[in-house]
Structure 1
Amino acid sequence: MVRRSVDDRIDNLETSVELLRSFSESSAVAHSDLVITPVASKADRKAFVDLPWRLYAGDSNWVPPLKGEVYGLITPKKNPFFGHAEAQYFLARRGDRIVGRISAHIDHLALAQPPEQGMGPGTGNFGLFEAEDADTGAALIGAAEAWLRAKGMTRVLGPISLSIWEEPGLLIEGHDHPPTVMMGHNSAAYQAMIEGSGYLPVKQLKTYELDITKPFSPLIQRIISSGGKSERIRVRKVDKSKFDEEAAIILHILNDAWGKNWGFVPITDAEIAFIGKKLRPLVFEDLIMIAELEGEPVAFMMTLPDLNEATGPLNGSLFPFGWAKLLWWLRKPQVRTMRVPLMGVVQRLQSSRLASQLAFMMIETIRLSAITRYGATRGEIGWVLDDNQGMNAIADAINSKVNKVYQIYEKPLA
């Protein structure tokens, strides 16, 4: 884990301020009264968090996040991502009006990954991107690039907000319906802004949707039935009373299963504890499965009720009565959509027929619970890398269709 001294942080902040002061002066000339400044005060942070509420006021498909969650995301003392990362946030202003925001950040664990897997030495990121117009977007991206360049980065990968495990990619297809829990939504205009700043597509992330009220094909049902008869295979629900132990099993499978995937960055123990604490209220034992082969855990599938259905109407705040509504909902969620954010099979089994059999068995077990206990009618799987042949094949086999596509871009820094 990378840690930096207080003096180093102060020196870097002063460097960033000087860098952005000169950038803002040139920006003001190029873009009339548009000025880019680093987020440096409590008022700046509030403006940074609040901006999307104005920009998406007319977008019925935008789901307001809980503001407390956004503050937690961008605050180093609250987010263990910053145990191995650093970031600078920027605001765009025209006079007293906030017209855009962006983050520039460096994940030091990502720098240590093999370059052929998408990250690697010299790769910085931008994210949390919002802009009122093209001039603002270009100026913000330029500010993020300047900060990354000053930090020695030679390449930008984005948008990633903030970790690859959070909300990676720009939504380029599927703006016509709202996102599910932990998925992003953005203006369709941002694609032209990013590509106009010299960025090229490098990877697509897809989500799939399906009608879970319909049974799977006879072939899939035979595969599931065959697995159920095997003495070697056991598919079980998680035991919430052993939450930490179960989380450790899932983390072990995840890091092994995803270890060679594009964009992979290992999750630290501190991050898994943090994520576990956040997601614990959403953990329902019959929606998270672990598959064992001859007693060894080799696969898992995590499914979450779509929390956005409950939090969207709260407009970002749990007060004065939102917290009570949410607690009541969490007692036994009744939802339209279930999302599968994570699923994995250990690498040694990924090329075998057993991998898909275990996947189908877990999907079917959870599908039945989702319908009978939670009233769900729709499932969403993803995100899935566009070149993940195994997962894309499983999605096709259960007659799911791509409903959203997120694009990650790259650009060299001269």
Structure 2
Amino acid sequence: MGGQGNGIVVEPVVDGAGRKVFLDVGYALNRDDPQWVPPLRAEAAEVVDPKKNPFFDHAEVQLFIARRDGKPVGRISAHFDKLAHTMPPEQGMGPGTGNWGLMDAEDESVAQALILRAEAWLREKGMTRILAPISLSIWEEPGLLTLGHDHSPTVMMGHHPAKYQPWVEAMGYTPAKVLRTFDLDVTQDFPKLIQRIISSGEKNDRIKVRRVDKSKFDEEAAIILEILNDAWSGNWGFVPITDREVEHTGKKLKPLVRADLIMIAEYDGEPVAFMMTLPDVNQPIKAINGKLFPFGFIKLLNWIRKPKNADMRVPLMGVRKHLQSSRLASQLAFMMIEYIRRAAVQDYNAKRGEIGWILDDNQGMNAIAEAIDADVNREYTIYSKTL
């Protein structure tokens, strides 16, 4: 069933040819934005392919394309995650929660038609409220960029035109949660107080902060996942990660994983915290305009083998729940950040790092970011609407 209005027809994607058009629309509508980083085509295709993205194992997804006079002028996904429906409503998700995402629109009338069609599909599926945009999983690209349009996103972060915010809000969506990223000048030493906290931790025999062992990739990934699920389980928006999603993400990130940029903190021999940092592969991808052929592949491969002048992003960090809000948790965080900061500068000639995203009401992590003189450089807003 298609949606229609203002000469705009919104139709569902039903096959591989439709998914190709869906991807083409995204590239066409963003290519003139100087801050947009075109995703590698194969990776973008994988996100919307039910056979390749394990998110589809526990979700229902419908893609839509908007056309005006036969020309594609917009796109959107409507979806709901069955695992999210098992979570407590007070944590943001819960039964009846649907989402839309991957929206791009030529103008406001197209955006309106797309959102209305996504809402109609979600209503047909029994959804009673929407959290959006989320593309597609909460673990992928949550939120609409509402601050920081003047610089390019780092690896695995979304970017959207500023004009989308008023379009979404005009459709009756109100902010549910703000996600922040913090920018850090990694060439500067941390304040003296933080240095003393780190030195104190180094003198404590019960604390050990170590690099991951890449030769035991699967074992180390299992340790990190176990800490992550414990540390984040009470967070707003949390949805458990499945084994297939872990395996899928691990394969995708393995070329970027550097042992000196991922730390595991142990206390009395027990792994209790971790911090994962990735070199910002968006830098070389933007330089080749997302095109691997004819020569982009070689340039990208060379950069991945030895990232140079690389910005850094900390996408994941966690401390076991029983230690959260303790002095030890902060101390371990500062130690891991400092060790990775040193490696980033020394081995990759890094100048800046980005920490995030961090929930706006996560007092502990916001306090840590502020203590090391990091500044908010981007905000993503997740909106809510009752259907």
TM-superposition CA deviations, 1:191-229 (whole Å, max 9, x none):
111111111110000000011100001100000000001
Matched residues, number: 387
Tell whether 2:169 aligns with 1:187: no
Q: 1:150 aligns with which of 101, 106, 124?
A: 124
Query: What is the TM-score with the length of structure 2 in the denominator?
Result: 0.99
SS of residue matched to 2:312 = strand
Q: 1:320 aligns with which of 256, 277, 294?
A: 294
Distance (Å, rounded) in 2 between the aligned partners of 1:165 and 1:303: 16
Distance (Å, rounded) in 1 between the aligned partners of 2:88 and 2:150: 37
SS of residue matched to 1:77 = coil
Q: 1:393 aligns with which of 367, 372, 387?
A: 367
Distance (Å, rounded) in 1 between the aligned partners of 2:182 and 2:375: 5
TM-superposition CA deviations, 1:59-99 (whole Å, max 9, x none):
11011100110110011110111111110000000013111
5+ residue gaps, structure 2:
none
Tell whether 2:240 aligns with 1:263: no
Matches within 5 A, 1:330-345: 330-345=304-319
Equivalent residue, structure 2, for 1:218: 192
Displacement after TM superposition at 1:50 (Å): 1.4
Displacement after TM superposition at 1:56 (Å): 2.0
Equivalent residue, structure 1, for 2:331: 357
Q: 2:219 aligns with which of 226, 245, 250?
A: 245
Distance (Å, rounded) in 1 between the aligned partners of 2:51 and 2:32: 34
TM-superposition CA deviations, 1:343-365 (whole Å, max 9, x none):
00000000210000000000000
Preserved contact between residue 309 and residue 335 of structure 1 (Cα < 8 Å):
no
Partner AA of 2:38 in structure 1: P
Preserved contact between residue 306 and residue 335 of structure 1 (Cα < 8 Å):
no
Q: 2:265 aligns with which of 270, 280, 291?
A: 291
Equivalent residue, structure 2, for 1:402: 376
Partner AA of 1:139 in structure 2: A
Partner AA of 2:109 in structure 1: D
Equivalent residue, structure 1, for 2:348: 374
TM-superposition CA deviations, 1:132-153 (whole Å, max 9, x none):
1111111100110111111110
Displacement after TM superposition at 1:120 (Å): 0.1
Partner AA of 1:160 in structure 2: I
In percent, how many aligned pairs have the same letter? 65
Tell whether 2:24 aligns with 1:62: no
Displacement after TM superposition at 1:322 (Å): 2.0
Displacement after TM superposition at 1:336 (Å): 3.8
After superposing on structure 2, the runs of 4+ consecutive aligned residues of structure 1 that deviate more than 3 Å are none
Displacement after TM superposition at 1:41 (Å): 3.3
Q: 1:132 aligns with which of 87, 106, 110?
A: 106
TM-superposition CA deviations, 1:354-379 (whole Å, max 9, x none):
00000000000000000000010101
5+ residue gaps, structure 1:
1-19
SS of residue matched to 2:42 = helix
Displacement after TM superposition at 1:313 (Å): 2.3
Preserved contact between residue 40 and residue 291 of structure 2 (Cα < 8 Å):
yes
Query: What is the TM-score with the length of structure 1 in the denominator?
Result: 0.92
Distance (Å, rounded) in 1 between the aligned partners of 2:123 and 2:167: 20
Tell whether 2:176 aligns with 1:202: yes
Distance (Å, rounded) in 2 between the aligned partners of 1:111 and 1:335: 43
Distance (Å, rounded) in 1 between the aligned partners of 2:174 and 2:192: 43
Equivalent residue, structure 1, for 2:95: 121
Distance (Å, rounded) in 2 between the aligned partners of 1:165 and 1:57: 25
Partner AA of 2:175 in structure 1: P
Displacement after TM superposition at 1:172 (Å): 0.5
Distance (Å, rounded) in 2 between the aligned partners of 1:138 and 1:184: 21
CA RMSD for the aligned pairs?
Answer: 0.9
Partner AA of 1:403 in structure 2: N
TM-superposition CA deviations, 1:313-348 (whole Å, max 9, x none):
222332222222221111110134100000000000
SS of residue matched to 1:281 = helix
Equivalent residue, structure 1, for 2:74: 100
Equivalent residue, structure 2, for 1:176: 150
SS of residue matched to 1:100 = strand
Distance (Å, rounded) in 2 between the aligned partners of 1:145 and 1:315: 34
Partner AA of 1:384 in structure 2: I
Partner AA of 1:259 in structure 2: S
Preserved contact between residue 122 and residue 152 of structure 1 (Cα < 8 Å):
yes
Preserved contact between residue 26 and residue 75 of structure 2 (Cα < 8 Å):
no
Preserved contact between residue 88 and residue 105 of structure 1 (Cα < 8 Å):
yes
Tell whether 2:48 aligns with 1:77: no
Displacement after TM superposition at 1:269 (Å): 0.8
SS of residue matched to 1:251 = helix
SS of residue matched to 1:76 = coil
Distance (Å, rounded) in 1 between the aligned partners of 2:315 and 2:42: 22
SS of residue matched to 1:369 = helix
SS of residue matched to 2:83 = helix
Preserved contact between residue 22 and residue 75 of structure 2 (Cα < 8 Å):
yes
